[in-house]
Amino acid sequence: MVVQKSRIMSRVHAKILFSFFCVGMSVSGLKAQITLTRDQLPQSGDSAQIMNAQRSISGTRFAASGPGVNWDFSDLQPESPDLVWYRPGIQTPYFLFLNSFGTKVQDSINLIAVSLQNVFEFYNSNNTRWAAVGRGFTVSGIPIPAFYTDSDEIFFFPLSYGRKDSSTFAYNINIPTVGEYASRGGRVTQVDGWGSITTPQGTFECLRVKSTLRILDSLTFQGNTFGVPLRTEIEYYWLSREEHIPILKVRGTSFFGLFNPSLVQYRFTPKSGVPPPDVPVADGDFLLYPNPTDRILFMATGRFDQINRLQLIDQTGRVLRDWPTPARPMLDLGDVPAGTYTVRAGCTFGTYVKKVVVAR
């Protein structure tokens, strides 16, 4: 009886151990959520192609959240390509933003008595947050910087599933001969999901970040203040470790709980050999994009400039490539190892030196 009982207990223990082994194998086969820091968010000098997609998407498609979600947006319909370029503040029309980097976010904001043109948003980051710190507007050809009196913290680090933060923001701009435009509000940001996302560009592991904003704008004109009704906007970001630019960004308004997208953009890389759309570059400037790149690097100069020579230089100062005047505004870096390089461009009006990152 003792021997039989011992054999039974041995079989029970074996089954328990086998069960734990199977569970362990099952768990190890699952993809774990990723965690992101400032190193995975846009930085000064980054540029990338994006595609504006058609906005006729049901708001219910953005409701999925939680762990291990597979967001499928492979059916997004492309509308118009564009370029996102995070330039150092001094290289923008609003050069007073010395310790931040900016990108154009709107062509114009039309108010009651004035139109604000060439709208830039400026950012900086540290180990704890990635924030908007100012805006730039052009009024009647005059560039006017507007520094946030309360920075808009968009992301808090480290970004990981379940994190939730709240912040406030405020800025105002004095408009000559008109008055003052002011905006203030609050933001609640939550990492509400992780998993994978599929766009026409491919499939990526990601975190999903949802920001809910409550915004109140006002315009003071000839001593009278006109308020804009309080509005709610929602921003969704799908962020990955592979790209600094969001894989997908969606912005829209929320009215009685119904989400209506007004902006849908996904990360986009043109096929090899297919040039991107014309990119406006200020006279006296030289642009490389996308940066980082995995293979194809496009170039653009001011309208009166011309590239006469290009060199690719590694971190030791060794010249790896030396091109004469390129036949097309692109370089194929497919055989260059991943790393950080310097591109030196000899142009009609001077020599430009830019850093480029090859990432795979």
**What pLDDT, in 10s, does the model give residues 187-225?**
999 999 999 999 999 999 999 999 999 999 998 988 888
Stretch (H or E) spanning 14: helix 2-28
Query: Does 143 sit behind a cis peptide bond, omega within 30 degrees of 0 on the bond before it?
Result: no
Most confidently predicted of 121-130, 264-273, 322-331? 121-130
Tokens of 173: 């701009």
Helix, strand, coil share (%) of the chain residues, nearest 5: 10, 55, 35
Q: Where in the chain is the domain with CATH 2.60.40.3080?
A: 286-358
Return the closest-CA partner of residue 332 out of 278, 277, 242, 270. 270
Q: Can you tell me the distance from the alpha carbon of 169 to that of 122, in angstroms, rounded to the nearest whole number?
A: 14
**What pLDDT, in 10s, does the model give residues 52-103?**
999 888 888 999 999 999 999 999 998 887 878 898 998 888 989 989 999 9
Q: Can you tell me the distance from the alpha carbon of 258 to that of 345, in angstroms, rounded to the nearest whole number?
A: 50
**What pLDDT, in 10s, does the model give residues 346-360?**
888 888 899 999 987
**Is domain 38-267 given the CATH code 2.40.360 in the classification?**
yes
Q: Is the pLDDT of residue 235 over 60?
A: yes
Q: Can you tell me the distance from the alpha carbon of 237 to that of 239, in angstroms, rounded to the nearest whole number?
A: 6
User: Torsion angle, CA of 174/180/186/187, rounded to 10 degrees?
Assistant: -60
Return the closest-CA partner of residue 301 out of 243, 343, 358. 343
CATH no. of 286-358: 2.60.40.3080
**pTM greater than the 0.85 cutoff:** no
Q: Is the pLDDT of residue 186 over 90?
A: yes
> Which pLDDT value is given to residue 121?
97
What does residue 63 show for φ and ψ, rounded to 5 degrees? -75, -25
Count the neighbouring beta carbons within 10 Å of the beta carbon of residue 87: 21
Q: Where in the chain is the domain with CATH 2.40.360?
A: 38-267
Q: Which residues pair with 185 in a beta bridge?
A: 169, 215
Tokens of 43: 């930085």
Q: What is the mean pLDDT of the chain?
A: 85
User: Would you list the DSSP string of 274-338?
Assistant: ---------TT-EEEESBSBSSEEEEEE-TT--EEEEEEE-TTS-EEEEESS-SSSEEE-TTSPS
Tell me if residue 248 falls in helix, strand or coil.
Answer: strand
> Which pLDDT value is given to residue 5?
42
| Burial class of residue 133, CB neighbours in 10 A (0-12, 13-18, 19+) | buried
